[in-house]
């Protein structure tokens, strides 16, 4: 029973981590394929929030202690607050170019 639970936990966390990494790869391809700076920002701001969130949830399933999971929660909250603000300021700065 415990082995089955362990396997399920490993598979779910592996899928989450792989999805987050694939998202980062796709966005870096978008960095080359899109035509303007704002279009490129559209591609790169997705892994900044969703990719980090997926990787953090995947890592949190592996940890057993509360302090590491709390740190992961801090990372996710920080990223969810900071990434849109930074992207907004950059988008305002580059204008319509």
Partner 1 sequence: MTIVAYLSLGFLALAGSLGVLRIVRHATLGDRAVAFDMLTSILTCGLLVSSGIAIDGLNLDLAVLLGLLGFVASVTIARFIESRNEAES
CA 64-66-71 angle, to 5 degrees, is 110
For position 12 contacting partner 1 by CB under 8 A, the verdict is no
CA 26-27-31 angle, to 5 degrees, is 120
Q: Which of 75, 85, 84, 30 is nearest to 54 (CA)?
A: 75
For position 35 contacting partner 1 by CB under 8 A, the verdict is no
Q: What residues line the site for partner 1 (CB under 8 A)?
A: 10, 13-14, 17-18, 20-22, 24-25, 27-29, 31-32, 37, 40-41, 44-45, 47-48, 51-52, 55-56, 58-65, 67-68, 71-72, 74-75, 78-79, 82-83, 85-87, 89-90, 92-95, 97
């Amino acid at each position: 029973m415990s082995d089955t639970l362990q396997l399920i936990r490993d598979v779910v966390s592996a899928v989450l981590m792989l999805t987050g990494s694939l998202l980062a790869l796709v966005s870096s391809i978008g960095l080359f394929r899109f035509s303007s700076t704002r279009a490129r920002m559209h591609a790169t701001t997705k892994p900044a929030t969703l990719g980090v969130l997926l990787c953090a949830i995947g890592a949190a399933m592996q940890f057993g202690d509360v302090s590491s999971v709390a740190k992961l929660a801090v990372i996710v909250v920080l990223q969810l607050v900071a990434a849109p603000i930074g992207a907004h300021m950059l988008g305002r700065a580059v204008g319509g170019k």
